[in-house]
Chains A and B, each alone.
Chain A
Amino acid sequence: MDDSTKRILQRLMRRIPSQMLQTMLGKWAHLSREDLHSLDFTQPKWVLTEHLLALCEENGLRVKHITELEMIYIIENPNQGMWHGFQLLDAEEDAPSIELTQFKKQFKANLTELISNVSIKIKKHTDEAIWIRVAWGDNFTKPNHLKPTYVVHHLQTPYVFVTGLTSKYKPLLNQALVLATRYGSMKDAHLSGRNLTAIRDLLMRQYQQVFPTKNPKPLQEKNPVPRNPNIEKEHAENTENRLQIACEAFGDGTLPQLQKAVYKLETKFRDNSNKTLTGREEPFRGVVEFASTNLLESLRHCVSSGMASTPVTPLLSSITQKGRNYFVITDKGV
C-alpha cells in the first residue's frame, strides 16, 4: 500500500466515530472473520488504525476497497456536508423507463469520455436511491480521493442531490447525468442544506402535508384531552385557525430540517423618510437570511403562536410550496 492510500485510510478512520467503527467494518466485508475478531475495539483509535493498516497490507487491499468503506459510511450517515438539489428538465420519451444497469453503463461511459482520469463507484441503496461516488483527476494527475463528490439520484424522478462538487467539474457532471438519464438539461433547484433526508423529503414532498378543508374540526370518535371545566380559553377558535393555517403552509408533524433561507433583494429602496436612498434608479441590493437549527419548525411556530400575521406571506410559504430556500426578489415578483 503506498503512502497516499495509507493517508486516505487514516483520514477515513479519523472521520468515522468510534461507536460506528465495528458495524462499518462488518458491513465492509473485505476483512475475514478472524481478522475482524482480532481487532480490539476497546483500544484507542490510533492503535486500532495501525492494526487495521497492517491487516489491509496483509490482505493486499487497494484504494478502491478503501473508498468502498468510505461510501458505506457516507450512505449510513448522509447528513453531513452541504447538499444541493438539482432538477432534470425536458424528459425524453424513454426517460421514465431507464433502469439501473443501463444508467450505470451510460453514466460511466459518458463521464470517462469527458474526463479521462476519474474514479466512479455506483451503488444502489435499499430505498431505491442510486449513490454515485466520483473522484476527479486531470490529464496528468490521478483521481483525488480526498475530495470526492457524492451524487444521489432516485430513478424515475427528476431530482438529483449532490455534495462536494466544485464549479470546475460541475458542467462535466451535469452533462454525464443528463445524457445517462435521458433528459434535456439540468438546472439548480435552489435548495441546499446539511441534511440529505430533509432536502429529499422537501423536494419530493414526502413530509406530512395539510390541505385546506371546509370543516377542520377533528373527527368525533377521537377521545378529546380531558379539559378542566373551570378553565376556558377566550380565543380558542382563533388559536385553532392559526394552527391550521400554519400547518397548511408548512406541514404537520415532523418537518424536514432546513437550516437556512436566503432572500436576495434586487428591489428599489422605498422609504419616504430617507430621501438620499429613495430616489435612486438602481436597485438597492440586500440579502435577508433566516437561519435556525430547524427553520420550518420555527416558522410554523411563529405563525401558530401569532408572532407572524396570517395569511402566511407567499415569501415564506414558497419554501415548502416550491421546495426552494434561495430566492431572488425583483420588483416584478419572486
Chain B
Amino acid sequence: MSLLKPFSKLPGLNTANILLVENEEQFQQKLADTVVLQEKTVNVNVRLARSLPLPMENEESRPRIDLVVFIIHLTSELSFQSAETSLKYLDPGYFQGKVCFLVTSARNVSVPPERLVSVRTLAASLHCPLLCAEDQTTEGVTTAARRLLAILKVAAGLVPMATGLYLSTLTRCTVPSDIDQQNFE
C-alpha cells in the first residue's frame, strides 16, 4: 500500500509543506492562495489533492509533508466519506500532531447535526485538532489560513520548544460525552 510517510525525506531549510485534501477541490485553492500570501518569514509550499493515495508520478518531486489537512464540507456526505477513506493511506506516524481536520458550514442550519458529531468522534479518536472555518468571506478564509499556519509551523519544527505531538495534546478534539457531565447536574 502506498502510504504517505512523515519522516522518509529530509526537511528543507526554513521550509514548511502543507497538504490540503478536499474532495470538491473548491475551498483548497482559495485557502492555498491566502496561506502563501500570509506567510512572509517561512517558505510555505502548498500541495493540493483530491484524495489519498497521491499519484506515484509525483513521488520523487514531492517534498516532505509536514501537515496534512482534511477539508470536510458538512453539506455533503460524500465529502466526509472521501476523507475517511483517504485516512487509510496515511502512515500512523502522521497522527502524532501532523494531521488536522478543517470543517466548513458548521453553522449551516440545513446540515444534519449528526455529521458534525461523527466528524468530531473521528477527530477525537485520532487525537487530531478540529478547526471550523467560514469559507464564504475573505476574513473567514484569512482566519482559517492563519490558524493553519500556526499549527503548520509547529508541525514543521520551526517553533522552538514546541513539537507537533505536544501541541496536539493541547488542541485535540474532544467529543461532548468525554467532558464531565456532573457539572451540569
Contact = CB atoms under 8 A, between A and B. Distances in A.
Interface in A217-276: 228, 230-235, 237-239
A231 B33 contact: yes
A232 B44 CA distance: 11
Interface of B is mostly: mixed
A33 B39 CA distance: 69
B49 A234 contact: yes
Contacts of A233: 47-49
A235 B48 CA distance: 8
B25 interface: yes
Interface in B125-155: none
B115 interface: no
Interface of A: 228, 230-235, 237-239, 305-306
Contacts of B49: 233-235
A231 B32 contact: yes
B181 interface: no
A234 B47 contact: yes
Interface stretch (B50-58, B94-102, B161-169): B50-58
Given A228-B36, A234-B54, A305 B24 contact: yes
* Chain B interface residue bracket vs A: 10 to 19
B36 A230 contact: yes
Contacts, number: 43
Contacts of A239: 25
B58 A234 contact: yes
22 contacts: A228-B32, A228-B36, A230-B43, A230-B44, A230-B46, A231-B32, A231-B33, A231-B45, A231-B46, A232-B47, A233-B48, A234-B19, A234-B48, A234-B49, A234-B50, A234-B54, A235-B54, A237-B55, A238-B50, A239-B25, A305-B24, A306-B50
Interface in B7-39: 19, 24-25, 32-33, 36
B55 A232 contact: no
A245 to B, nearest CB: 16
Given A230-B43, A231-B47, A305-B24, 6 more contacts: A230-B46, A231-B33, A231-B48, A233-B49, A239-B25, A306-B50
A158 B47 CA distance: 53
B25 A305 contact: yes
A239 B49 CA distance: 10
Q: Which residue among A234, A235, A238 has the maximum number of chain B CB atoms within 10 Å of its CB?
A: A234
Contacts of B57: 237
The 7 residue pairs across chains A and B that have the minimum distance between CB atoms? A234-B49, A231-B32, A231-B46, A233-B48, A230-B36, A230-B45, A234-B54
Contacts of A306: 50
Contacts of B48: 231-234
A191 B135 CA distance: 41
B82 to A, nearest CB: 10
Contacts of A228: 32-33, 36
A235 B50 contact: yes
Contacts of A238: 50, 55
Contacts of A305: 24-25
A231 B33 CA distance: 8
Contact of B55 (A230, A231, A234): A234
Contacts of A235: 49-50, 54-55
A114 B24 CA distance: 59
A306 B46 CA distance: 22
A235 B36 CA distance: 20
A238 B54 CA distance: 11
Contact of A232 (B25, B33, B46, B50): B46
Interface string B81-123: 0000000000000000000000000000000000000000000
Contacts of A232: 45-48
A239 B26 CA distance: 13
A234 B19 CA distance: 9
A239 B55 CA distance: 12
A228 B54 CA distance: 21
Contacts of B58: 234
Nearest to A229: B45
